[in-house]
């Protein structure tokens, strides 16, 4: 649904002509830094760090917050696999939580899955659908848990007037080619906590202690990785970000038209939305898996149960508790026995077998949108 045009090409040209492809070679005020400042300003957050993927943003946030060996992190059983693998990257382990009818984390199951070793929750705002953040933040406060919002699939979307990714202790965005705005591959970490930002800055760049900003860093430097982006990505995102409000508004407009038509059918119901006035994503629920498959047969829109690596039953590396090196396997450091089985989140499996996501016809004219919606209920 993203748009890409002459503005991005012009920005890339400027980077090429400058010769400063690395964000730290051109000094302050480069494309990437400018994008981060605009992101902070528009989304009302203190700190933003551009990284090379949404996965990297999640890992940076967890590492910066001190999540590590022996810790447990709650993640939904329906999400892109990276949400569950990110805790493993810092030595922690994911604990799978059922979703509810909103297709996002079920607050009731969160409470059931908390143990003395739980340190964080990763609510995932799937397919532009926000989690029940009021309930999740209340639970987190009650149990003294950190919240890392995975807003990778919902960049620019709001929950009760606040941008997703800015409500928890940290948030992660993805800018890969399937997202609301894109630079091919990329991401960002958002936070209002200075220590989290600085430690993320250190972790995302193995050479952080050599940078111009190093003398101003108050946190002790520690070994990092390389999740940096180039100025080409920063330049593209600067132009992409200028369009985000227009993109979200267009999606909301198209959704409203389709939802009004869908409300008149008894073939399916519209999936519950946790912030109706901000609604962008549009998913539907059938009474049975058979009805969902019949809809697929007629309209070529498959139930969510066929969305591959977004379903925990297909997360083979996690289910098998594998690691690149046995001595580095986080499951060697856990403080209680943890088993993963394919029937451990049956509520999630039932919900996604009866649900489908409707791709919003972003560039269609209003009459075409109505025709498309009417075809789906015919």
For residue range 348-375, what is the model confidence (pLDDT) as tens digits?
A: 999 999 999 999 988 899 999 999 999 9
Indicate the CATH number for domain 6-243.
Answer: 3.40.640.10
In this prediction, residue 4 has a pLDDT band, given cuts at 50, 70 and 90, of confident
Average pLDDT over residues 254-260: 97
Q: Residue 220's Cα: distance from chain center in Å?
A: 29
Do 172 and 54 contact (CB within 8 A), yes or no?
Answer: yes
- Token pair belonging to 227: 């999740």
Contact of 354 with 286, CB cutoff 8 Å: yes
Residue 341: phi and psi, rounded to 5, are -130, 155
- The answer to whether 165 touches 48, Cβ cutoff 8 Å, is no
245-377 maps to CATH 1.25.40.10: no
Tell me the Cα Rg of the chain: 21
Q: What six digits make up the tokens of 325?
A: 């090196």
- The answer, yes or no, to whether residue 28 has pLDDT greater than 90, is no
Residue 277 pLDDT class (50, 70, 90 cuts): very high
Say which residues have a Cβ less than 8 Å from residue 190's Cβ, sequence separation at least 6: 39, 40, 43, 45, 47, 48, 165, 166, 170, 171, 172, 173
**Measured distance CA(312)–CA(184) in Å, rounded:** 26
Q: Where are the domains of the chain?
A: 6-243, 245-377
């Amino acid at each position: 649904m993203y748009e890409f045009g002459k503005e991005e090409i012009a920005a890339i040209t400027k980077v090429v002509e400058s010769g400063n492809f690395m964000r730290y070679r051109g000094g302050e005020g480069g494309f990437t830094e400018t994008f981060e400042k605009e992101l902070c300003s528009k989304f009302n957050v203190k700190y933003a760090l551009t990284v090379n993927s949404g996965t990297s943003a999640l890992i940076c946030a967890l590492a910066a917050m001190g999540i590590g060996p022996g810790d447990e992190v709650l993640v939904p059983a329906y999400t892109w696999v990276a949400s569950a693998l990110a805790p493993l990257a810092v030595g922690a382990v994911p604990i799978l939580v059922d979703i509810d009818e909103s297709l996002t984390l079920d607050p009731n199951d969160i409470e059931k899955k908390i143990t003395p070793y739980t340190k964080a929750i990763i609510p995932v705002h799937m397919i532009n659908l926000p989690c029940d953040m009021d309930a999740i933040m209340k639970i987190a406060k009650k149990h003294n848990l950190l919240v890392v919002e995975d807003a990778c699939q919902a960049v620019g979307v709001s929950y009760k007037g606040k941008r997703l990714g800015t409500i928890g202790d940290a948030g992660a965005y993805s800018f890969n080619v399937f997202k609301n705005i894109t630079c091919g591959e990329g991401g960002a970490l958002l936070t209002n906590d200075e220590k989290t930002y600085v430690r993320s800055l250190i972790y995302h760049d193995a050479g952080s202690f050599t940078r111009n900003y190093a003398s101003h860093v108050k946190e002790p430097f520690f070994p990092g990785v390389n999740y940096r982006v180039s100025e080409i990505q920063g330049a593209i995102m600067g132009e992409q970000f200028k369009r985000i409000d227009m993109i979200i508004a267009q999606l909301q407009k198209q959704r409203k038209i389709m939802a009004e038509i869908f409300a008149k059918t008894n073939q399916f119901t519209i999936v519950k939305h946790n912030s109706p006035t901000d609604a962008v994503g549009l998913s539907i629920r059938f009474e049975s898996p058979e009805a969902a498959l019949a809809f697929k047969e007629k309209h070529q829109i498959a139930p969510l149960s066929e969305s591959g690596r977004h379903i925990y039953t297909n997360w083979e590396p996690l289910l098998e508790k594998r690691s690149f090196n046995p001595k580095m396997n986080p499951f060697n450091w856990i403080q209680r026995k943890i088993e993963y089985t394919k029937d451990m989140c049956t509520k999630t499996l039932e919900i996604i077998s009866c649900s489908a996501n409707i791709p919003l016809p972003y560039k269609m004219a209003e009459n075409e949108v109505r025709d498309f919606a009417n075809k789906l209920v015919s």
